[in-house]
Structure 1
Amino acid sequence: MGPALGYIARRIRRNRHTRVVAITDNVIPHEKRPGDRPLTRYFLSACHGFVTMSRSVLADLRRLHFKQPAQYQPHPLYDNFGALKAKPVALQALQLDPTFGYLLFFGFIRAYKGLDILLEAFGDARLRELPVKLIIAGEYYEDAAPYEALIKQYDLESRLVRATDFIPNEKVADYFCAADMVVQPYKNATQSGVSQIAYHFERPMLVTDVGGLAELIPDGEVGYVVKPTPIAIADALVDFYEHQRESELAAGVWAKKKEFSWSEMVAALKAVAG
């Protein structure tokens, strides 16, 4: 998209009064390809300013020597998936057994999102003793074979809920509201829209300490921030269930979510537009 967006931005600037501001999720793509940097530079050099979704992206801009006005502003809540539902209602909608607890991995399944790490963590002997299942809700973006091999290796089939087809918007609330906690075991990241959906539905979160993920998840207040390793993830999941921390962390999420408003995003866009 770099050539197209760069061309459009330059055409717009010709009127000498319209300001071009980029909302940047990533500056450097997760999956690198030849030509990424020159094409990215072509687009970014046509912008008057930037609003970044994480501090790590702001740092990437500076490393690339872009000096236009830039400001970090977390994405507002994704509140377009409907209202919160009571957990029993969501479980019934998904036809899930309410005698189990459920963890949610949500979104496209891509290598950098670390589902393989989570599956290895779920093979931990301590977790096998708990009445907990993992919901995998999202389409495969790549070959499923490596994940299937891990499921077989750790004998996880009976402990999984597979929803690896397209998830329509009207079903998103059910998956989040049925979950005890949302798990994002990413290997690298800048930020994730999944966090803002989880905030909307007031669900505790576990994220790995990569990129900008931890910026939005105060460790011990709204969830866990851990190293991207199976043992670190397993330790946190065991702590969550053994100490029954869902209510405590959900209350922290409810308090924190008030910071992510659309008015703050609009103010940031105006500030960098100049």
Structure 2
Amino acid sequence: MGTFPPFRGGISNFYQTLYEKLSYEHDVTAINFSLQYPNILFPGKSQYDNNLKSDINIERTINSINPISWKKTANKIIELEPDLIIFKYWIPFLAPSFRSIIKHTKKKISIKSLVICDNIIPHENRPFDKFLTKSFFKHIDHFIVMSKSVEKDLLFLFPDAKYIYTPHPLYDIFGKCNNKDKSKRYLQIHENKVILFFGLIRPYKGLDLLIEASKTLKEKLNNFKILVVGDCYENPEPYSKMINKNGLNDIFDMRFEFVPNDKVNIYFSAADVIVLPYKSATQSGIVPVAYHFDKPVIVTNVGGLSEIVQEGKTGYVVYPEPNEIADGILKYYNNLDKINFVENIKSYKDNFTWNKFIEKIERIFIQ
């Protein structure tokens, strides 16, 4: 139960892949939102990608602000009589609808419930967030956390929670890595070195830190481009002004746009290294995408980002400060002749398969 196509983004990608992997051995039903966020509350350009194609039979019954739909959804689940219902949780705004659905369902049938936790305490705190989360979680039997940071948040709210820790699995829906030069030509990038910042742009993602770090990079690195790609969930003007003020226009390529799934591989194929200069985090879906394409990462030591990076082998972990971020990027380029990052990633990413993730879910069936 959660976000499926035609809704776009990482959570929809996750749920579609989870459905497909579970369906190999189990009978699975997908229950989607008819309305996820009212447009007035959504900061991006669109919630939808109508070009997304899915063979999944999806029931679109949940309206996040319509309690009548919550009862309708619960009745649908009661009719199906499943053994397990799976929620994905990332924002307390959805807690009332999820709480109502699971509470009504459990009154009528015996069913186990699982929440896969992206965020428990949001990046941008709001009043009543913890209250809403606790009101939903008290009806849940089991949890999956994908970082130690989220594990800590879960145990803070529910010290006796039954949970399993397993890292975020790698996405395999974005196709294969293309030829680097061909991808750069497609993107009209002529520089030899390409540094990629990819994903939704929000204050906590630290794009301003990367811009500050680029002043050092411009002095010490030659023939490079910083490619910034993602839908901007805030006013992009301050970033543009910051770049102009510091004379950095020649090294930045800013593309404030959503990238459909069938184009993601072009950007990652063109890049040498992926940078996540986050100021706060739980875990990230961007690192698994980078590893899928065998690309090293530079991440800050916030939340669970450092948990899935082998220092000096699959990337580098730095403090969320401009000089540190610049040093991490320079260290990567200076060590290219000494470290085979690609081979290290190919070996390391075996720890993040969907089969291992599904095995953790299946444990809940037999508990």
Normalising by the residue count of structure 2, what TM-score does the alignment of the two structures yield? 0.71
Runs of 4+ in 1 over 6 A off after TM superposition: none
Equivalent in 298, 304, 315 of residue 223 of structure 1: 315
Equivalent in 70, 73, 93 of residue 163 of structure 2: 70
Aligned to 1:189: 281
Q: Counterparts of 1:242 and 1:68 in 2: how far apart (Å)?
A: 45
1:101 and 2:193 equivalent?
A: yes
Q: Counterparts of 2:358 and 2:110 in 1: how far apart (Å)?
A: 19
Equivalent in 210, 216, 222 of residue 130 of structure 1: 222
Give the structure, 1 or 2, with the largest relative contact order (CA under 8 Å, sep 6 or more): 1
Aligned to 1:45: 138
Q: How does 1:75-224 map to 2 (within 5 A)?
A: 75-97=168-190, 99-124=191-216, 127=219, 129-224=221-316
Q: Counterparts of 1:29 and 1:94 in 2: how far apart (Å)?
A: 34
Q: Counterparts of 1:197 and 1:125 in 2: how far apart (Å)?
A: 25
For the pair shown, which has the larger CA radius of gyration, 1 or 2?
2
Aligned to 1:237: 329
1:20 and 2:20 equivalent?
A: no
- CA offset at residue 55 of structure 1? 1.3
Q: Structure 1: which 5+ runs fail to align?
A: none
Q: Counterparts of 1:242 and 1:182 in 2: how far apart (Å)?
A: 16
Equivalent in 350, 353, 356 of residue 264 of structure 1: 356
Query: How far does the alpha carbon of each residue in 1:76-119 deviate from its partner, in whole angstroms, 9 at most, with x for none?
Result: 1111111121212221222221x421000001110000000000
Deviates more, 1:154-163 or 1:111-120: 154-163
Q: Counterparts of 2:118 and 2:336 in 1: how far apart (Å)?
A: 34
Q: CA 1:131–1:104 in structure 2 vs 1: closer, same or farther (change >3 Å)? A: same
* Partner SS, residue 283 of structure 2: coil
Normalising by the residue count of structure 1, what TM-score does the alignment of the two structures yield? 0.94
Q: Counterparts of 1:247 and 1:176 in 2: how far apart (Å)?
A: 20
* Partner SS, residue 14 of structure 1: helix
> Would the aligned equivalents of 1:13 and 1:20 in 2 still touch at CA under 8 Å?
no
Q: CA 1:204–1:125 in structure 2 vs 1: closer, same or farther (change >3 Å)? A: closer
Deviates more, 1:160-169 or 1:122-131: 122-131
Q: Structure 2: which 5+ runs fail to align?
A: 1-93
Q: Counterparts of 1:20 and 1:221 in 2: how far apart (Å)?
A: 38
- CA offset at residue 128 of structure 1? 5.4
| Number of equivalences | 273
Q: CA 1:128–1:148 in structure 2 vs 1: closer, same or farther (change >3 Å)? A: farther
Query: How far does the alpha carbon of each residue in 1:200-220 deviate from its partner, in whole angstroms, 9 at most, with x for none?
Result: 011000000001000001111
- CA offset at residue 155 of structure 1? 1.1
Instruction: Name the aligned partner's letter for residue 71 of structure 1.
Output: I
Instruction: Name the aligned partner's letter for residue 182 of structure 1.
Output: I
> Would the aligned equivalents of 1:181 and 1:206 in 2 still touch at CA under 8 Å?
yes
Instruction: Name the aligned partner's letter for residue 204 of structure 2.
Output: Y
Instruction: Name the aligned partner's letter for residue 181 of structure 2.
Output: P
Q: Counterparts of 1:270 and 1:247 in 2: how far apart (Å)?
A: 38
- CA offset at residue 240 of structure 1? 1.8
Q: Counterparts of 2:141 and 2:124 in 1: how far apart (Å)?
A: 27
> Would the aligned equivalents of 1:24 and 1:51 in 2 still touch at CA under 8 Å?
yes
Q: Counterparts of 2:345 and 2:325 in 1: how far apart (Å)?
A: 20
- CA offset at residue 237 of structure 1? 1.3
- CA offset at residue 245 of structure 1? 5.4
* Partner SS, residue 9 of structure 1: helix
> Would the aligned equivalents of 2:227 and 2:254 in 1 still touch at CA under 8 Å?
yes
- CA offset at residue 29 of structure 1? 0.4
Aligned to 1:60: 153
1:5 and 2:75 equivalent?
A: no
